[in-house]
Structure 1
């Protein structure tokens, strides 16, 4: 199905102020990385829930040091500040963000799932990537920056990504206004961050995680680990049953 794209979908400071109301935000027509700006802002005292939004992002960061380009008027690029005292909850912040995005996308379409650790899939293809980065001031842990990159109407036709990536408007008949989608994601994120220490968060993440129960190959450094994904632990690590029956915990890697 093709999305409804005939009406303009504009992001600017006035529209975001109306939609986001009292939430602190910074908007930029173009940036290198929203995460970089958010990292500086948290050092200056920005509160939890403050968000940096860009129309175009030239050098966004993905997992495993990948670069991510966000074309203007076609996607959402934003970074959310989360103040936190305990660094061990960093992975749970990522879970909360992934669930929040998934819930918002289900207002537009079906087929939304999560792939460990941080990809949101739409009918099996990546529609959104999430990166949670810790932020320190010397030895003092300040919290995390959650970077969210979501394809709304990016065209992957005739590109090498066509088999792996997709956009929301390719799967809905609803008109997608990015400002409203941003607000929805942030509202959901607020709710899940309030449950950061709760088993409800882990249960919701497991429920959405398509990786569990699957035979997987995971790139970990220069190695490929193959096995069956059994579960996640309280910090989001993936438990794999290897072919010899031994269990292995994976904290960092990419499911292929």
Structure 2
């Protein structure tokens, strides 16, 4: 299961694209911090790292990129009936759990890998160029919380793509539904409920208004709901395919 996740070429392609996207969406802020030598929000390195992985542009790209990794794979197997062959070997329940875990793990791990590598790059490149009084404990806390949020955020959007593809029986919707959902919810919250930030996916993934604990809790619950729904939908599709 784990071997299949990390042998997927799309996993590495998307991870690399995300690393570049972190830099591109946060470049103006990085340049500003380097020139000023400090930032008022937090000690330099931490502020740059936090902004690059939580700015509005990168959060909009995540639902577009993450589903590319594996969100359509399960629907493809269900379409060509390869799933029935697997079920005959390991059973329906084991197959459903295995495929859902692969989907969630692929999406979440890609986010973690891209965030971790970006963290190392930004630390090496900027540590000596801007004033920063962040201690080792603070660095570990910042990175650990961002990795957990990133994993859950990636797992959620990857799961949403897979769920959409299975429910609507169209593999291509796995790539578009997560992005459309993110965009619609964000615009809906901005236009009609400006003070209800919890309605926007942006505030689930970035502790800008709410705390880290709130963001992690919301993402965990959402990822869990999507995972359970996926297992249920796979059962339904397998039962339908046998008739």
Mark yes or no: TM-score above 0.5: no
TM-score range, shorter chain: under 0.3
- With structure 2 as the length reference, what TM-score do the two structures score? 0.26
- With structure 1 as the length reference, what TM-score do the two structures score? 0.26
Could you say which structure has the higher helix fraction? Answer: 2
Could you say which structure has the higher strand fraction? Answer: 1
Query: RCO higher in 1 or 2 (8 Å CA, sep ≥ 6)?
Result: 2
> Larger C-alpha radius of gyration, 1 or 2?
2
